[in-house]
Structure formats: structure tokens, C-alpha cells
């Protein structure tokens, strides 16, 4: 097997591994939505454009455009509650402060992180999510919580390493930590509705 054949073998393995990662993330989002009794309200690719579909797209588009879950916003909403979870699959670009296409210059994968960023707001009229996306806490080194405030309205955020969701017990502990963080800020709109899910 030559170098090219070996690379293609690694790519096949990577796609299969990516499938299992994506499935696990989607199952986690379903679980969190049920625990908070919040319906899923769609999502957005935050690193690139959405994957081309319906016979559209250009072949000179970014390769990232075909990999939406690299950095993705999952939204949950009900009444006035806005709750989003950002999946940041790799902090590598933010850790080195380079452009989207300078992949060779991203921080090494052994040093970068995979994170989930929870963002909550109980005032649907204020949802300037771009401020969350431009925050320092997108880097691999981050503070656990941060708040973005404008005109006396806030988005409350908590950052988690993905390994804090590797099983049900750790996931439930992380969700409870987020609830306590909100309660500490006098927000009681989000609760775990079924401990037995």
C-alpha cells in the first residue's frame, strides 16, 4: 500500500468515526432538550456556510462548508426562553488566531479542545449571538462562565469540556451545574423536568 492508498484508508476510517461522533452529539442534544423540556428549534453552522444541497453549491466553496458540525449552534426555545448549545469541535483556529483556511497553522490537535458552550437568555428580544461567537472563551483556555450584557439584558454562558458529557452521570452533573449558575444569577426559568430520563 503506497502513501496515497494509506491516506484514503485513513479518510474512510475518519468518516466512519465522524459519523459516530455526530450521532453521539445529536443524541446528546435530544437528551438535553428532554431534560429541560425544551423543543429543538433548529440550528446554524457557525464556522462556515451550510452544506450545499438541492443541486446548488460551488466547487470552489470552502471544504469546511461540507462539515457543518465543526462549529454548530443548536437552538432550543419555548415561550420567551432562548437556550443554545454551541458545539465547538476544535478550538485550534481560535488558539492560534489564524484564518479559517490556515488549517496547517491551527493549534495541534493534542493541545486544542472540544467544547460545548451553553448560552441562555429569558428575553427573546435580545439575542445578539455574535457577541458570544467573538468571545475570548472560544479559545482552548477559558473561564467556566461568562456573561454578555447590553442595555441591562444578558446572555449567560457556561463553557464545558466535551468529556463532561461522556456518560449520563457526568451529563446530568453538568446540567445541574448550569442550572445552579443560572439560579445564582436569579434566573429560574430553566429546570430539569424529569430526573428519570
Q: Per mean pLDDT, which range of 79-88, 101-110, 135-144 is the poorest?
A: 135-144
47 three-class SS: coil
**What share of the chain in percent tops pLDDT 70?**
95
Q: Are strands 153-161 and 115-121 parallel, antiparallel or unpaired?
A: antiparallel
CB-CB contact of 129 with 73 (8 Å): yes
| pLDDT digits 0-9 by tens, 25-59 | 999 999 999 999 999 999 988 877 777 777 777 77
Instruction: Please give the Cα distance from 135 to 142 (Å, whole number).
Output: 10
Summarize the confidence of residues 95-109 as an average pLDDT.
Answer: 91
CB-CB contact of 133 with 46 (8 Å): yes
Q: How many Cβ atoms sit within 10 Å of the Cβ of residue 52? A: 13
108: pLDDT strictly greater than 80: yes
Q: What is the pLDDT of residue 197?
A: 66
Find the DSSP H helices in the chain: 3-36, 92-96, 130-133, 168-184
| pLDDT digits 0-9 by tens, 10-29 | 999 999 999 999 999 999 99
147: pLDDT strictly greater than 60: yes
Q: What's the residue count for the chain?
A: 197
At 134, phi and psi to the nearest 5? -100, 10
* Measured torsion, CA atoms of residues 181, 184, 189, 193, in degrees rounded to the nearest 10: 60
Task: Supply the pTM of this predicted model.
Answer: 0.90
Residues 6+ apart with CB under 8 A from 7: none
Q: Which is more confidently placed, 8 or 138?
A: 8
Q: What's the chain's average pLDDT?
A: 88
Q: What is the pLDDT of residue 124?
A: 58
Instruction: Please give the Cα distance from 106 to 164 (Å, whole number).
Output: 24
Amino acid at each position: 500500500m503506497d502513501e496515497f492508498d494509506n491516506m484514503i484508508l485513513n479518510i474512510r476510517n475518519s468518516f466512519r468515526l465522524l459519523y459516530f461522533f455526530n450521532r453521539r452529539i445529536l443524541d446528546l442534544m435530544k437528551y438535553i432538550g428532554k431534560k429541560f423540556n425544551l423543543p429543538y428549534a433548529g440550528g446554524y453552522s457557525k464556522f462556515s456556510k451550510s452544506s450545499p444541497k438541492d443541486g446548488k453549491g460551488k466547487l470552489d466553496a470552502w471544504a469546511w462548508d461540507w462539515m457543518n458540525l465543526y462549529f454548530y449552534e443548536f437552538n432550543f426555545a419555548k415561550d420567551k426562553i432562548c437556550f443554545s448549545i454551541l458545539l465547538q469541535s476544535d478550538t485550534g483556529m481560535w488558539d492560534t488566531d489564524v484564518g479559517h483556511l490556515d488549517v496547517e497553522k491551527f493549534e495541534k490537535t493534542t493541545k486544542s479542545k472540544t467544547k460545548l458552550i451553553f448560552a441562555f437568555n429569558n428575553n427573546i428580544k435580545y439575542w445578539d449571538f455574535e457577541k458570544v461567537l467573538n468571545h475570548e472563551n472560544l479559545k482552548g483556555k477559558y473561564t467556566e462562565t461568562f456573561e454578555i450584557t447590553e442595555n441591562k439584558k444578558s446572555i449567560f454562558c457556561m463553557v464545558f469540556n466535551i468529556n463532561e458529557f461522556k456518560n449520563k452521570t457526568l451529563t446530568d452533573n453538568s446540567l445541574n451545574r448550569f442550572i445552579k449558575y443560572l439560579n445564582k444569577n436569579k434566573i429560574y426559568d430553566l429546570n430539569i423536568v424529569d430526573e428519570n430520563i
